[in-house]
Amino acid sequence: AQSVTQPDIHITVSEGASLELRCNYSYGATPYLFWYVQSPGQGLQLLLKYFSGDTLVQGIKGFEAEFKRSQSSFNLRKPSVHWSDAAEYFCAVAARSSASKIIFGSGTRLSIRP
C-alpha cells in the first residue's frame, strides 16, 4: 500500500531564512507527487506537482521540490521564507493507475520567527 511520511511535525524558521520540508513515500513504482498548503480558514491549495520529466519542479509562491527516485523523496524548498508562508504543508502521492485517489501525509506545520 502507498504511504507518505512527513517526519517533521512542526518546524520554525526565521523570516528570510531558507526552508526545506521533508517527504518520503513508499510505493512500488514512481507515483504522482504533490505538495499542498493549508492556511487557517483556507482550503487546501496545490503548490506544485510532479508527473514526469524534469525532477526539479517549480511551483507557486516561490516554492520548488525535487524528486529523488533513489531516496523515494520529494522534499519541498524555498530559498527565503516570508511571514505569510506560515501554514500547514502536506505532501501527497497518487498511484499512476488510480490518479484520482490522493494519499496525503500527516503534514508539517511551519511557523515563521520574525
Residues in touch with other proteins (CB under 8 A): 4, 32, 36, 41-46, 49, 51-52, 90, 92, 94, 96-107
Q: Is 80 or 106 the residue whose CB approaches other proteins more closely?
A: 106
Q: Is 95 or 112 the residue whose CB approaches other proteins more closely?
A: 95
The Cα 97–Cα 20 span in angstroms is 29
Written as one string, the DSSP assignment of 16-35 is TS-EEE--EEE-SS--EEEE
The Cα 39–Cα 103 span in angstroms is 19
User: Please, what is the minimum distance in Å from the beta carbon of residue 14 to other proteins?
Assistant: 25
